[in-house]
Amino acid sequence: MICHVLAIGDVVGEAGIRHLARHLKPLKRLKDIHFTVVNGENAAGSGIKPDQVEALYTAGADVITLGNHTFGKPQIARRLEDDPYLLRPANFTGRAPGRGWGVYDCGPVQIGVMSLIGRCGLDFHADNPFTTADKLLKGDRPALAVVDFHAEATSEKLAMGYYLDGRVSAVWGTHTHVPTADEEIFPKGTGYQTDLGMTGPIISVLGIRPEQSIETFLGGLPGRYQVAEGPCKMQGTIFSLDSQSGKCVGVERIDIR
């Protein structure tokens, strides 16, 4: 059986949530998607609120991953403890609430989903994501396993992809909000893309009003960042996975506007 896994890039603001709600389920029907992972760490701009978690599930997410803004909205802490489908980076300190690895039903098979955060350019005193992945992949695990690596540096993401090649079915990057044109299948059968892109306003700087971002780079005081307005895009990638071998057999970028 071929299991089609859809990974959706960082959802930005209420506008991104609304766009996801309009387009995700039709895309899943069109592409025969069996399982969907959505990065939701920017649903509230910085972080995600409990009602937005529900909105992403209603829109069609099976699992929600987070990143450096996991605790941007502190009220999410209890939800992280109680909700097995909401994942924060597994290599956060052990004192952080929540989990970064889960195993879920994907049709007649099971799929493991891992959330990791990079350390290059992200100062969060996180544990080593490479050795964290090693620990989580020890012992019994499902044939299908995918990784959302929330990281700044393309080098760190590529290194992770090659490090896990043949040990997981797919590795994709999030965080930079700009899709990369490097979707591929690595030599040992792992599907890969450096960054999925984002789900949010098209005319923006990573989802934020352009004039605010420009003011920052000019050295001014932009104030509290505001999500841009106007038409949105939904970006992500479909990984086609062989449930017997665990290998990726197809990778397709998507961009719905």
Q: Which tokens hold the place of 107?
A: 């049709």
63-65/86-87 β-pairing: parallel
Of 109, 151, 108, the C-alpha closest to 133 is 151
- d(C-alpha 16, C-alpha 219), whole Å: 28
Q: Which tokens hold the place of 248?
A: 């990726």
Say if residues 40 and 56 touch (Cβ distance below 8 Å). Answer: yes
- Cα-based distances in Å from 25 to 18, 22, 57, 59, 132: 12, 7, 11, 7, 33
Q: Which residues are catalytic?
A: 69
Of 197, 198, 196, 141, the C-alpha closest to 169 is 141
Q: Radius of gyration over alpha carbons of the chain, in Å? A: 17
